[in-house]
């Protein structure tokens, strides 16, 4: 239905608590100390906000120098790298299949495959997906939607919407509608927001003038240059939502049960990799801040008589710490043969600080579902085979595989929707076909790792020539694999016809 909100709270009722979580995770993700101080001191709904917090104290002008450790950003980057450091394999249903006569089984499917791969390359789709995966880690999920603009490109465009700019609607666990918003201008007193609502087969747009916490009243789309060309309603593709939500992980432990004042749709948001580690993040920053403070205050000190200090331009006495040789000291040596200069060098507790920091780092990484070794902890530095690496970092691979299970069906849906938009909105002349997406594990397996297994399978006769070639060359196309199988069979004489069968048609 068309957008007809009337000066409601924004974000809408039932989502304020979740938005406070988003604000906290966003601050840690950004690594901005000033933003962290603001969040900890102003977000009353934030359960971690306290005057005892280091960042809250900083916001209250306590004199301190904060050292931030960007472990949160490192977690998110690692999550995205595990998922998409290698491009997933995309196959249109029926494409690449060769008949016994050596002809394509489905020429139409091969043409669709070629067009889809061209769209993927032209739209930089995998770069955007990797970017989305990075953002999904801290925010518990991310939105993907398919747009098109004939004046900009002749192919559909994959867009990313952040979770803190989206309100989903579910029915029996299935997404039935979604409302996105974007702030076009904010001068602290007036906020202009573009509201974009997705329903099956249609997209609605509306422009609102309000405040930081109120949506305000609806105004004409022509009131802002960014929305002047938008219609109030735009036909999408029949019966389909042109957007999908990708949860980072599920279930979300914070929304497992119904909470007072929280929308029932909050149950379906994903779990952040930061959830439960917020206090650990801050403790780690406190350790490094104290460590650096120890280094500053424990530096060597020289205590000299006041009369040995030079008189500066301002009339005050000063001591030049950078001067290496002191001559013509106009003073008499002190009694008992002492020079009158006393030095002090305090101990820096580096080992204790390092041990504490490493322990906190390990707890943060483990809580997010990764092995400490993935982040350079508890390793000896020796080179390892792909098999040994997989065993050592098994927890990280299992976490990534779980996340991949959420990404795979969404990517398959999105790639099918891209075909439909290409055909129905941009003039493509083919029939859209279902797509299969095979996620990669991000680890290159060396030939030395798989050679013994293939040799044993060959001796036992437990694998066909096709499987052997495919395992040895997993990056080859189906045509290349089939051609190699035929060459092997020809060399071994396996492709020769049985003379007893010749002429028996």
Q: Is the pLDDT of residue 334 over 60?
A: no
Domain final residue pick, 268, 300, 319? 268
- What does the alpha-carbon distance between residue 270 and residue 245 come to, in Å, rounded to a whole number? 9
Q: Which residue has the higher pLDDT, 354 or 295?
A: 354
pLDDT above 80: residue 462: no
Region 31-58: what's the mean pLDDT?
69
Q: Is the pLDDT of residue 72 over 90?
A: yes
Q: Which of 210, 236, 268 is the last residue of a domain?
A: 268
Alpha carbons 234 and 228: distance in angstroms, whole number: 14
pLDDT of residue 46: 46
What is the bridge-based pairing of β-strands 310-311 and 217-219?
unpaired
Tens digit of each residue's pLDDT (9 = 90 or more) over 186-197: 887 899 999 999
pLDDT recorded at residue 479: 73
Q: Over the stretch 166-181, which tens digit does the pLDDT of each residue have?
A: 999 999 999 999 999 9
Give the pTM.
Answer: 0.79
pLDDT at 368: 94
Q: Which has the minimum average pLDDT: 344-353, 375-384, 482-491?
A: 375-384
- In sequence order, what are the residues at sequence separation of 6 or more whose Cβ sits closer than 8 angstroms to the Cβ of residue 106? 94, 95, 97
CA 20 to each of CA 42, 271, 387: distance values in angstroms, whole numbers, following the listed order: 10, 14, 42
Q: Whole-angstrom distance between the N-terminal and C-terminal Cα of the chain?
A: 66
Does residue 357 belong to any structural domain of this protein?
no
| Radius of gyration for the alpha carbons in the chain, expressed in angstroms and rounded | 32
Averaged pLDDT for residues 297-305: 62
b/e for 356-390, b at 16 or more Cβ within 10 A?
bbeebbbbbbeebbbbbbbbeeeeeeeeeeeeebb
* Residue 245 or residue 301, greater confidence: 245
In our burial notation (b when 16+ CB lie closer than 10 A, e otherwise), range 100-110 reads eeeebebeebb
pLDDT score, position 351: 85
Question: What per-residue confidence (pLDDT) applies to 45?
Answer: 43
Residue 476 CA, chain-centre distance (Å), reads 29
Q: Is the pLDDT of residue 476 over 80?
A: no
**Tokens found for residue 245:** 């939500």
- Is 256 domain-assigned? yes
- Which among 54, 8, 57, 48 has a CA at the least distance from the CA of 25? 48
Asked whether residue 348 is domain-assigned, the answer is no
Whether 317 is in a domain gets the answer no
Tell me if 66 is assigned to some domain. Answer: yes
Phi/psi at 177 (nearest 5 deg)? -165, 160
Find the angle CA(415)-CA(419)-CA(423) to the nearest 5 degrees. Answer: 165
* 75, 365 Cβ separation under 8 angstroms: yes
Give percent above pLDDT 90 in the chain.
Answer: 53
Banded pLDDT at 7 (limits 50, 70, 90): confident
pLDDT of residue 44: 44
On whether residue 434 sits in a domain, the answer given is no
Q: CA–CA separation, 24 vs 48, rounded Å?
A: 9
* Weakest-pLDDT range from 7-16, 219-228, 346-355: 346-355
Task: Flag whether pLDDT at 156 surpasses 70.
Answer: yes
State the Cα–Cα distance between residues 48 and 84, nearest whole angstrom. 33
Query: What CA–CA distance (Å, rounded) separates 398 from 370?
Result: 9
In a domain, 6, yes or no: no
pLDDT at 323: 55
Lowest mean per-residue pLDDT among 85-89, 111-115, 437-441, 449-453: 449-453
Query: Within a domain: residue 361?
Result: no
User: Among 234, 268, 302, where does a domain finish?
Assistant: 268
Cβ proximity of 397 and 387 under 8 Å: no
Specify the 3-state DSSP secondary structure of 192. Answer: strand
Given pLDDT bands bounded at 50, 70 and 90, which one contains residue 499? Answer: low
Cβ atoms of 274 and 21 within 8 Å: the answer is no
Task: For residue 381, report the phi and psi dihedrals to the nearest 5 degrees.
Answer: 95, 0
Query: Cα–Cα distance between 373 and 395 in angstroms, integer?
Result: 10
pLDDT in tens, 233-283: 999 999 999 999 999 999 998 987 767 789 999 999 999 999 999 999 999
Q: How many domains does the chain have?
A: 2
CA gap 481, 476 in Å, rounded: 6
For the chain, give the mean pLDDT. 83
Of 301, 309, 303, the closest CA to residue 338 belongs to: 303
CA distance 223 to 192: 10
97-132: per-residue pLDDT in tens?
Answer: 777 777 777 889 999 999 999 999 999 999 999 999
What's the Cα-to-Cα distance from 377 to each of 77, 82, 309, 327, 414, rounded to whole Å? 17, 17, 49, 51, 38
Confidence of residue 49 (pLDDT cuts 50, 70, 90): very low
Task: Compute φ and ψ for 67, nearest 5 degrees.
Answer: -110, 120
Interval 360-388: pLDDT, tens: 999 999 999 999 888 887 665 554 555 55
- Bridge partner list, 208: 193, 218
**Residue that is written with structure tokens 């495919």 in the block:** 470
Q: Is the dihedral of CA 12, 14, 15, 17 positive or negative?
A: positive
Q: Lowest mean pLDDT: which of 85-94, 148-157, 317-326?
A: 317-326
Q: Which domain holds residue 484?
A: 445-497
Q: Compute the residue count for the chain.
A: 505
């Amino acid at each position: 239905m068309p957008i007809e909100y009337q000066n409601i709270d924004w974000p809408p009722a039932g989502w304020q608590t979740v938005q406070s979580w988003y604000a906290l995770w966003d601050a840690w993700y950004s690594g901005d100390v000033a933003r962290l101080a603001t969040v900890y001191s102003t977000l009353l709904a934030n359960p971690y906000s306290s005057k005892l917090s280091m960042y809250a104290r900083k916001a209250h002008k306590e004199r301190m120098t904060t050292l931030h450790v960007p472990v949160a950003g490192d977690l998110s980057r690692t999550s995205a790298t595990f998922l998409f450091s290698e491009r997933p394999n995309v196959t249109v249903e029926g494409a690449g299949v060769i008949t016994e006569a050596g002809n394509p089984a489905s020429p139409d499917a091969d043409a669709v495959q070629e067009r889809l791969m061209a769209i993927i390359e032209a739209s930089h789709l995998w770069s955007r997906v990797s970017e989305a995966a990075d953002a999904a880690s801290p925010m518990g999920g991310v939105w993907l939607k398919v747009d098109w603009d004939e004046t900009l490109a002749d192919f559909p465009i994959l867009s990313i919407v952040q979770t803190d700019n989206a309100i989903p609607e579910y029915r029996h666990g299935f997404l039935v509608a979604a409302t996105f918003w974007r702030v076009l201008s904010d001068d602290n007193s007036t906020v202009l927001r573009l509201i974009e609502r997705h329903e099956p087969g249609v997209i609605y747009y509306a422009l609102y003038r309000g405040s930081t916490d109120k949506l305000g009243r609806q105004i004409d789309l022509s009131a802002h240059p960014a929305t002047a060309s938008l219609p109030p309603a735009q036909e999408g593709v029949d019966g389909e939502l042109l957007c999908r939500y990708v949860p980072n992980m599920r279930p979300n432990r914070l929304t497992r049960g119904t909470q007072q004042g929280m929308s029932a749709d909050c149950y379906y948001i994903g779990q952040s990799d930061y959830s439960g580690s917020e206090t650990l993040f801050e403790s780690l920053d406190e350790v490094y801040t104290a460590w650096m403070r120890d280094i500053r205050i424990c530096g060597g000190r020289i205590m000299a008589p006041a009369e040995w200090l030079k008189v500066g331009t301002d009339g005050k006495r000063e001591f030049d710490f950078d001067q290496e040789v002191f001559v013509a000291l106009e003073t008499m040596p002190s009694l008992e043969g002492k020079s009158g200069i006393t030095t002090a060098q305090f101990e820096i507790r580096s080992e204790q600080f390092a041990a504490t920091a490493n322990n906190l780092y390990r707890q943060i990484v483990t809580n997010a579902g990764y092995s400490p070794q993935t982040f350079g902890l508890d390793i000896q530095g020796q080179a390892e085979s792909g098999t040994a690496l997989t065993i050592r970092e098994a927890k990280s691979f299992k976490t990534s595989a779980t996340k991949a299970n959420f990404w795979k069906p969404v990517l398959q849906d999105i790639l099918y929707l891209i075909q439909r938009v290409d055909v129905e909105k941009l003039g493509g002349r083919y029939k859209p076909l279902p797509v299969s997406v095979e996620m990669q594990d991000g680890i290159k397996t060396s030939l030395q790792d798989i050679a013994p297994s293939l040799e044993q399978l060959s001796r036992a006769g437990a694998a066909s020539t096709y499987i052997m070639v495919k395992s040895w060359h997993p990056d080859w196309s189906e045509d290349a694999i089939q051609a190699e199988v035929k060459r092997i069979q020809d060399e071994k004489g396996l492709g020769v016809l049985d003379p007893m069968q010749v002429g028996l048609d």
